[in-house]
Structure 1
C-alpha cells in the first residue's frame, strides 16, 4: 500500500470508530508494523490533522475534521459498484433510478485516475433478469418510514381478497426481486410482511406512529427472531 493510501486509510479507520483505536489495531488492519503506524500518525499530526492520543492508549480523530467525501479507495469504489449492480436486480424502479443517479454523481466528480475502477471493476454479480411484473411506487412507503407516520393501505391477499388496513411501517425490505413492506398491523395487532406488488393503494396519514422508530424496530427484531424459528408467508 502506498503511503498516501495508508494515510488516508488511517483517517478512515479513526473516523468510523467511536472509541480510541490502538496502534496494534491500526497495524493489523493496514498490515504494517506498529512503528510504521507511529510514523504515519506523526506525519498526519504534522499536517494538522486533528488526531489525539498516544502509544499504549489509542488514537481518536476530532469529529469536526472535514475531509473531501469522495476521496474513495479502490475497495470503496468497488463496494459502491457492487451495491449498484445488486440494486439493478431489484424490481423497484424508484430505487434503481436513485442508484443510477448516485453513480452518475460519483463519476462526475471522480478523479480521472480512479474512473477505471468504476468502468472496469474487479467485482461483479450475475445479471439475473428483473421481474417484469408491475410494482408499487415505493416512495410514499419510504417517506412514511422516515417521518414515523402511519399508512392506510389496500392490499390483495394470496386468495384474491382485498382488505384495507392501517399499519405502522418499519422497513421496506427486499428478497430477491420482490420488495416487502414490514409493518405493525393495527387490526391484527401483530407485525406483518406485505408484498408490495399486492398493495393496491397507499395513503400517508397525518397520525404519527404511537412509539419511537427505534422502539418499533426493536420490537420488530424481537418478533423476527421468534418468527425465524416458526416462519409464515408474507401477506
Structure 2
C-alpha cells in the first residue's frame, strides 16, 4: 500500500471509529508498525486534518471532517461502474479487489445499480499458490522502473532466463502480457504472463528511462498514445 493510500485509509478508519483508536490498534488495521502510525498521524496533523489525541490514549477524528466528495454525474458514475466491473476479465486479482473498493464508494454516494451487469469471463485469475506470477508484481516493477529477472518458457518447452525492463501491462481477453525491453535480445519483446514460471525483482533500476522507452515501443507497435495511456 502506498503512503498516500495508507493516509486515506487512516482517515477512513478514524471516521468510522466510535471511540478513540490507539496507535497499536491502528497499526494492526493498516498492517504497519506503530512508529509508522505515529508518523502518519503527525503528517495528517501537519496537513490540518483534525486528528486529536495522544500516544497511549488514542486518536479520534473531529466530527464533521470528510474528504471531498466524488462529483460524478449519472453517466460518469455508470461508466465507472461498468469499467470497474470489467476488471474481472483481466485476471488481475489485486486490481479486482481495488476496483471493488472503488465500486463500494461509488455505491455509497450514488446508490446501488444492480441492473448493470458485466460477464466476468476472461483471463484466468493470477494465483501465486498455483505458481502464477502476480500481475501486481509486474505493475509495481513498471511503476518503480525496476528490472525483473524472469524464467520464461515457450510452448515447445524451451526455457530462457531474461532480464527485462517492464514497460506496459497489456490485458487481452484471455491472456495478460508485459511489453518490455529485453536485455538478452537488445530489443522490445512481449511476454505472456502465463509463460513466466519465475519472476524476481532486481535491485537494478532503469529510472528515468520508462517514458522514453514506452514512446519508442508505441511508435514501433503503431499503438495510439491515448489508447495506451501515454498521452
Give the whole-Å Cα distance in 1 for the aligned partners of 2:125 and 2:215.
Answer: 34
Identify the residue that residue 197 of structure 1 maps to in structure 2: 194
TM-score, normalized by length of structure 2?
Answer: 0.59
CA distance in 2, matches of 1:78, 1:150: 38
Give the Cα–Cα distance (whole angstroms) in 1 for the partners of residues 123 and 71 of structure 2: 33
Task: Name the structure 1 match of 2:205.
Answer: 208
Per-residue CA distance 1:118-141 (angstroms, 9 max, x = gap): 3334xx544536547854211111
Matched with 2:89 is 89
- TM-score where L is the length of structure 1: 0.59
Q: Deviations over 1:91-134 (max 9, x none)?
A: 222222221122123334x1xxx214x3334xx54453654785
**Per the alignment, do residues 214 and 130 of structure 1 end up closer, same or farther by CA in structure 2, a change over 3 Å counting?**
closer
Partner of 1:149: 146
Instruction: Tell me the matched-pair count.
Output: 153
| Structure 2 unaligned residues grouped into runs of 5+ | 1-66, 224-231
3-state DSSP of counterpart to 2:94: helix
- Distance in 1, matches of 2:124 and 2:140, equals 24
Give structure 1 stretches of 5+ with no counterpart. Answer: 1-66, 227-235
Is residue 106 of structure 2 the alignment partner of residue 120 of structure 1?
no
Choose the corresponding residue for 2:171, options 147, 151, 174: 174
